Each structure stands twice: as C-alpha cells, then as structure tokens.
C-alpha cells in the first residue's frame, strides 16, 4: 500500500510567517489529499489536488503537485496560532487501504 | 447531520477484558475504517469495510475483530485487551474509500489498558 511521507517531521514558526510542508510518494497517482489534525481530534480534510492540476488554492492554503517528482507541498500563508496542528498527505488508497504517514507537526507561536 | 460518532470517548480496561468500540455514521457512506494512533505517530489502519457484509484487514489487525451488518455501524471489538492496545482509536467513513472523496473522521476513543 502506498503512503505519503511528510517532511519535515516538525516545524516551529512565528505567527504571521509562512509554513511549508512537503510530501513525497512512490507510485503514480491521480490525486492527492491533505488533512489536518488538531490535538486530540480526528483528521479534517483540507484539500484534494488532481494529477492534472499543478496548483490549487483554498483560503490561506496553497497546494502544489509535481507528478514528475512524485511530490506535493502545502503552504500556509500568514500563519495563526490556530494553525498549530499536525498535517498529513494522503495518496489514493490501494486495495481499499488508505495509509497515512507520520505527518508534519506544525507549531505556530504567538 | 452528526457525521461520524464514536463512543465511548474514554475507556479504561484491565488486561484480558473485552469491549466494543462503537462507530456510527449518518452520511450513507459505503466505506468505513478504523485507525489507531499512538503518541508521536501517524495513524495505522486496523480494519476497513467497503460495504455492509464486507470487511478486510489493514496494517495492524491482530487482536481486533470487526463486522459490518449495516451501512451505518462499524464496531471494533477487542476480545482480550492487552497493554499494547493502549491508544487513541479513530473511525472514518467516506463515499468510496478516499479514492476521489475525503475521509470523515470521528473524534476518537481514548483507550487505556492496565
């Protein structure tokens, strides 16, 4: 089964700064999803980017996808303390199994 | 529309006890799954179901049983709890397993086995 590998494992920034997280995967995909997990809560879906899209925006989120490098990035602009969370990328499931990596733990300090 | 509901929120068991973690969704989703999350780690898939009457194993199925008799419910059974099963358990559902649509997660059951 394929899983995304997020990098870095942890990221600490000041409020107002931008945060960039990266995701790599192994096999060809037709889309990739990003999720956020606030402490003690279930994951929440953020955005889905398709293989024919190189970039997608949602509010302060910008996601890019480079299928030739098998990588994606999530940029959060003008970060806020409320953005403190873990972020996971998820390639499509294989054989019904949607597998998550360890995520990037983002800490935004006020 | 409650989404995915997990009960109980917290549970403490003694080694060897059995229990069932409940998961219900009201979105008519065919796909449901169970994950466990240990401190500082990502989610590991335990079992999943692509529809009523159909279940399959994930990455870490040992020690857990599931059944899917209705579309709405997907209970997870621990037959003989062990300290290694201390974890936070998340249930998720989606239209078709996250291929083109997102997973919707419950808020977890925090299980401690002593």
pLDDT tier at A12, thresholds 50, 70, 90: very high
Interchain contact, B108 vs A42, CB within 8 Å: yes
Cα–Cα distance, B97 to B58 (Å, whole number): 13
- Tell me if A31 sits within 8 A of A84, measured CB to CB: no
B32: Cβ contacts below 8 Å, ≥ 6 apart: B23, B25, B48, B49, B68, B74, B91, B92, B93
Whether residue B33 contacts residue B4, with contact meaning beta carbons closer than 8 Å, is answered with no
Specify the pLDDT at position B2: 84
The number of C-beta contacts closer than 8 angstroms across A and B is 62
Q: Do B107 and A41 touch (CB under 8 A)?
A: yes
Task: Please tell me the predicted confidence (pLDDT) of residue A3.
Answer: 86
Contact A31, A45 (CB under 8 A): no
Please say if the pLDDT value at position B88 is more than 80. yes
Identify the pLDDT of residue A56: 97
Which two three-digit tokens encode residue A105? Answer: 């733990």
pLDDT of B42 strictly over 90: no
A42 closest CB neighbour out of B31, B42, B107: B107
Using a CB–CB cutoff of 8 Å, tell me whether B102 touches chain A: yes
């Amino acid at each position: 089964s394929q899983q995304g590998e997020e990098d870095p494992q942890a990221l600490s920034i000041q409020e107002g700064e931008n945060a960039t997280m990266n995701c790599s995967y192994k096999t060809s995909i037709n889309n990739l999803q990003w999720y956020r997990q606030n402490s003690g809560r279930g994951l929440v879906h953020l955005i889905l980017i398709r293989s024919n899209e190189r970039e997608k925006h949602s509010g302060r989120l910008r996601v890019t996808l480079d299928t030739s490098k098998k990588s994606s990035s999530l940029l959060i602009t003008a970060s806020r303390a409320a953005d403190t969370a873990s972020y996971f990328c998820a390639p499509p499931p294989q054989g019904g199994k949607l597998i998550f990596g360890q995520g990037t733990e983002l800490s935004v300090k006020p | 529309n409650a989404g995915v509901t997990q009960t109980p929120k917290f549970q403490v068991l003694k080694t060897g006890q059995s229990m069932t973690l409940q998961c219900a969704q009201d979105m008519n989703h065919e796909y449901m799954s169970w994950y466990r999350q240990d401190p500082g780690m990502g989610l590991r898939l335990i079992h999943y179901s692509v529809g009523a009457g159909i279940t399959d194993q994930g990455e870490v199925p040992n020690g857990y049983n599931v059944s899917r008799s209705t579309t709405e419910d997907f209970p997870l059974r621990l037959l003989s709890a062990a300290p290694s099963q201390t974890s936070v358990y998340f249930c998720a559902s989606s239209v078709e397993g996250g291929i083109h649509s997102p997973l919707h997660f419950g808020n977890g059951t925090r299980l401690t086995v002593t």
